[in-house]
Amino acid sequence: MNLNTLTSSLRRSFRPRAKVLWTSDWVCKSCRINSVAVRPRARFSSTKTPMEKPYYITTPIFYVNAAPHVGHLYTMVLTDILKRFQQLKGRPAILCTGTDEHGMKIQQAASLSDEDPKEFCDRVSETFKQLAARADLSYDHFIRTTDPDHKEAVQHFWQLLQERGYIYEKKHEGWYSVSDETFYPSSAIEKRLDPATGRTFMAAQETGKEVEWTAETNYHFRLSALKEPLLAFYKQNPNFVVPATRMRDIERWVTEGLEDLSVSRPINRLTWGIRVPNDETQTIYVWLDALVNYITKAGFPSASFFDGVAGWPADVHVIGKDIMRFHCIYWPAFLLALDLPLPKQVLTHAHWTLGHSKMAKSTGNVVNPFFAMDRFGVDAMRFYLAHDGGITDDADYANANIVERYRKCLSGGLGNLLQRVTGTKVWSVSEAVEAAAKGEFEVGENPIEAVHGVGGVVDGHFKELNPRAGLHEIMRVIYDTNKYLQTTAPWLIAKSGTPSSEAEVRRIIFHASEALRVSAILLQPYMPTKAAQILDTLGVERGRRGFGDAVVGGDLGYGRVKVVEGEREGGVGKKKGKGAYGTIFPPLAVEE
């Protein structure tokens, strides 16, 4: 039995009345005003060229119960790198980020701060927005779950689930974690000991968070009915969850069985959230509310959502491994229930630890991302997080590690290579490139082996959602190019002053500058500002910085730089003098 047959069969079992998605009895306020409620996809003339679906990528929306830490910065940077790489290849791309502002933890945090919940959310959400701007996150949408359009999308989504028979009301008893904002089955609970106090408590096995026994009447989603459709979907999409080890975890959890999911909370226990349509006594479960954000900014429930012009289905959701149950089981189940397209992939990255303990706002074991960027620089922090951050395994954060990466990779590697190639009177990059263009030597016979095909290798890593491996490949080109210059020693060859020695120097410098040019183009998603400065210094035109240009011999027109008013335009290197461009990665003020 295929996925469609399974899904249809299950829906016939639970649907009290057959309704297509876009004919809900309940219509949100703006839809009533603007008459843009969900409707069937518009039909277009066959002569009209369809628009390309943008690459749509998302961060999780960050919970505003406390200030952000460097783990949030890592998620932002990882997502931004993936988006920028698609743009480098010439594909339109949309990045959606934002803040999750409802639920019990927010209600409690606001109370402890003696603030109105909305004022509390406004303040902390702004901090996350500032972090995104400071980190050079190229986001297109910053959603807040307190936004009116999101509230309407959530209530519409709820009503559709209810009309299809997937939501029902009953008394619920179970183990509830306020920290995780979710119920856990008894099989997922264990007794734990707090070594600091000696207190024993019941905790969720998956997260270690304390749970309490709770009994209440609320609404449930028939998650159990989606077990077989989910398993069929996973089988048809074996790379849905990355890395593969977590895909196997998801399949195992679903195979072991799914209990129906409590999707509301009584208002006498939770007031801060979106109300259940037509039932003011219940508040919609924060995770159902939060997950819908991905389609709110993709146009749901308007027609543009179904046309794909706003990006849906998502190409990648980027999340931390601790929330994959919600994104890889609950979210696909909600979408399957409504016949909506599912996201193509979910990248579940590992955590950053501090002192080999997970960073967590609740324990205070965190690193302030603003302080880190102020100290080491934005692009240096982006580089470090991408270079050392884990996808499969956790990585331990340490200032000493950042200093080491800065010295070896950035200052001693990339910065040193740029200075060697462009910062001397002895040779000129423009003359070397001109010689190559005239056929003075074979352009494609670059002796730096790592640069040949590096773009394709990096592209392959990005297709596997592994930017870290891609960065390591780029840096291998940088290291090998420095070794090449050290071995060939063009500064010694130039001392001969003969026509043949000058030709040999031009050949060496061209090969080195080509490796640097190709590497800088591929580094743009990782370090947008520094990579642009390197390309500016090399004299690479703005229109020649795409993925297709990142091949040996792909551009034989660079080498001349545009200078500030009052200076003469000239070639890189010889015309300017040593040190004219400064040091792109200056020594750190405090290296410890």
List CB contacts of 409: < 8 A, sequence separation 6 or more: 383, 387, 475, 478
Residue 195 has what pLDDT? 82
Indicate the DSSP class of residue 226.
Answer: G
Q: For residue 499, how many other CB atoms are within 10 A of its CB?
A: 8
Cα distance from N-terminal residue to C-terminal residue, the chain? 62
**% of the chain residues with pLDDT over 70:** 87
Residue 214 has what pLDDT? 80
Q: At the top level of CATH, which class does the domain 3-376 belong to?
A: alpha beta
**Topology match between the domains 3-376 and 399-571:** no
Residue 364 has what pLDDT? 76
Long-range pairs of 503-507 with CB within 8 A, sequence gap ≥ 24: 503/435, 503/440, 503/441, 505/426, 505/427, 505/432, 506/427, 506/431, 506/432, 506/435, 506/436, 506/440, 506/441, 507/432, 507/435, 507/440, 507/441
Residue 44 has pLDDT above 50, yes or no: no
Residue 217 has pLDDT above 60, yes or no: yes
| Ranges of each domain in the chain | 3-376, 399-571
Among the residue ranges 45-49, 141-145, 532-536, the one predicted with the least confidence is 45-49
Q: At the top level of CATH, which class does the domain 399-571 belong to?
A: mainly alpha
Residue 182 has what pLDDT? 77
Q: How far is CA 270 from CA 210, 213, 216, in A?
A: 19, 16, 12
pLDDT tens-digit profile of 446-491?
999 999 999 999 999 999 999 999 999 999 999 999 999 999 999 9
Q: Which amino acid makes up residue 122?
A: D
pLDDT tens-digit profile of 292-337?
999 999 999 998 888 888 999 999 999 999 999 999 999 999 999 9
Residue 259 has pLDDT above 80, yes or no: yes
Indicate the DSSP class of residue 223.
Answer: G
Average pLDDT, integer, range 213-241: 95
Strand (E) positions, 333-428?
A: 346-349, 352-354, 357-358, 395-397
Is residue 16 very low, low, confident or very high in pLDDT (cuts 50, 70, 90)?
Answer: very low
Residue 572 has what pLDDT? 57
Residue 290 has pLDDT above 80, yes or no: yes
Strand (E) positions, 47-195?
A: 55-58, 62-63, 93-100, 141-144, 167-177, 182-184, 189-193
CA-to-CA distance for 557 and 339, rounded, in angstroms? 52
Residue 17 has what pLDDT? 32
Helices (H) and strands (E) in the chain, counts: 23, 21
pLDDT tens-digit profile of 542-588?
999 999 999 999 999 999 865 433 333 445 555 443 333 458 999 88
Question: pTM of the prediction?
Answer: 0.86
Mean per-residue pLDDT of the chain:
88
Indicate the DSSP class of residue 57.
Answer: E
